Amino acid sequence: MWDEKLQELDSRREKAQLGGGQQRIDKQHERGKLTARERLDILFDEGSFVEVNSLMSSRTTDFGMDKKKLPGDGVVTGYGKVNGRLVFASSQDFTVGGGALGEYHARKICNVMDMAINAKAPFVEINDSGGARIEEGIDSLNGYAGMFKRHTDMSGVSPQIAVIMGPCAGGACYSPALCDYIFMTEKNGQMYITGPKVIKEVTGEEVTTAELGGAQVHSAQSGVAHFVYPDDESCLTGVRRLLSYLPESFEEKPPAAEPVKKYYHKRLRDIVSPNMKISYDMHEVIDEMADLDSFMEVQPDFAKNIIVGFMRMEGRTVGLIANQPDFLAGSLDFNSGDKAGRFIRFCDCFNIPILTLVDVPAFLPGKAQEYSGIIRHGAKLLYAYSEATVPTVTVILRKAFGGAYIGMDSKGLGADFVFSWPIAEIAVMGAEGAVGIIGRKKFDESENPEEVRAAEIREYEDRFMNPYIAAERGYVDEVIRPEETRERVLNAFDMLEQKKKSLPAKKHGNIPL
């Protein structure tokens, strides 16, 4: 009796392990894609993955579904260790009915998400699916609804990461959209609400899947994707790296790593010119602030005028927000408000201290910006900084003008420490613009308006375009030498280690979405 029962169990397990069969597995490999299980093998520490609900399958019998029934129902779910810490995951199996989501496919994912919520541990979903299983009708749609609800419940409890390694179409897109971060593979990752065929039928427009929802589109134009990698293996290695910066839940602090010492430092004053018209790459400043090779940039191809990402300072995770003078002179546009605002709120969710490096001339002017809602989008940045309760340190390197100065975590918004370099100019606007408004009548009455204008600009710069007035008022805590920056920032974060800050009692705020 035992032999017979164990033989049946082994047979069922083997069938579940094989997914859609060897022929479909071979096709998956031909497309440059790994199987659902191979992907999990890369994501998790070796031998740590434990599968859950491996024998669950669809109950639908209509449309010949009783003959297509397979154990596992097109998705592999379970838990294991990533970098030695607990993580839950689902991995859709394209070899089983194109990874289409049905009632029990969704139930498996919801089950493992419930486990993640209860355990307060991160959840990773690997997407490779043709969408809803049409044969199961509204049960499929309800399955998506259950997933969306759990993503929302889990938001701010533990990190959620979506990985797009194949098609992700229609309503299915909103599952990754509700996650904290989205990874995509260059060749096979696709996300779109409406596919090319439907678009052609409805509008007559011809478009390829890559043009519509490929990795390049979502990383550089829409801002939907946060990370892009060339293939499955490098992409999942990237997921592992990101998780190494993050705590398991909001109840914990980020994990510390052994700091990697640098043996050569480039002088910050050699990177940043005191001439405001000479640009530089802020990444060079970040490299000097961070532990060796520790900066992991988020959305590097979207809203390039602002840089966000995770780095380590003496082994501890820090969230970094910085203007990029090499792109739009570091001005804030409507996309930068979305990008930085969401990143700040993620850091605040998970106890990650925030460092802000400022060199910003303005919110970008122009009709296109106003039409695109720069007021509404820029307000997200202000809101995110204002409600943050984690330690926040700001360093003003050069320019900090007008509303953009306020928005980049000024003292008035709640920054714990604001440092400034001595070359910094902190003002309502640049000297030329200010003098043009204040001294207009004087210029009109002068016989040599250009000479008078130049003299007025020099005087304005000498009197007002410096950090010392802000320091006198307490808007800057200390004016520091560039070479002191890293040490002062580290000392500030050390002091703020036990910071406790609470917001006024409320149900929740209403961020200007």
- 């892009």: which residue's tokens? 228
- Calpha distance 301→216 (Å, rounded): 9
Active site residue 404: yes
Residue 68, pLDDT score: 67
Is residue 83 within 8 A of residue 73, CB to CB? The reply is no
Kindly list the structural domains of the chain, giving each domain's residue range(s) and its CATH number in brackets, ordered by start.
Answer: 35-245 (3.90.226.10), 268-428+466-498 (3.90.226.10), 431-464 (no CATH)
Active site residue 19: no
- 């002062």: which residue's tokens? 488
Per-residue pLDDT of the chain (513 residues; tens, 9 = 90+): 788 888 888 888 888 888 888 999 999 999 999 999 999 999 999 999 999 998 777 666 565 666 666 767 889 999 999 999 999 999 999 998 888 888 889 999 999 999 999 999 999 999 999 887 867 778 888 989 999 999 999 999 999 999 999 999 888 999 999 999 999 999 999 999 988 888 988 898 999 999 999 999 999 999 999 999 999 999 999 999 999 999 999 999 999 998 877 766 678 999 999 999 999 999 999 999 999 999 999 999 999 999 999 999 999 999 999 999 999 999 999 999 999 999 999 999 999 999 999 999 999 999 999 999 999 999 999 999 999 999 999 999 999 999 999 999 999 999 999 999 999 999 887 767 776 777 666 666 666 767 667 777 777 777 778 899 999 999 999 999 999 999 999 999 999 999 999 899 999 999 998
- Report DSSP letters for 270-325, one per residue: HHS-SSTTS---HHHHHHHHSSTT--EEESTTSSTTEEEEEEEETTEEEEEEEE-T
Of 266, 245, 358, residue with least CA distance to 312? 245
CA 313 to chain centre: 20
Active site residue 430: no
> Which amino acid, one-letter code, is at 256?
A
Residue 288, pLDDT score: 94
Residues facing 319 on adjacent strands: 310, 354
Residue 56 contacts by C-beta under 8 Å, 6 or more apart in sequence? 71, 72, 73, 104, 107, 108
- Calpha distance 15→116 (Å, rounded): 27
Residue 259, pLDDT score: 83
Residue 9 contacts by C-beta under 8 Å, 6 or more apart in sequence? none
Alpha helix stretches (DSSP H) within 35-129? 36-43, 103-119
CA 109 to chain centre: 23
pTM of the entire predicted model: 0.93
Is residue 335 within 8 A of residue 302, CB to CB? The reply is yes
Read off the pLDDT of residues 362-406 as tens digits, 9 standing for 90 and up.
Answer: 999 999 999 999 999 999 999 999 999 999 999 999 999 999 999
Residue 64, pLDDT score: 62
Catalytic residue among 132, 215, 404, 492: 404
- Calpha distance 280→268 (Å, rounded): 11
Catalytic residue among 32, 146, 171, 223: 171
- Calpha distance 402→118 (Å, rounded): 46
Catalytic residue among 32, 156, 403, 414: 403
Residue 348, pLDDT score: 98
Residue 69, pLDDT score: 66
Active site residue 210: no
CA torsion sign for 270, 271, 274, 277 is positive
Is residue 224 within 8 A of residue 177, CB to CB? The reply is yes
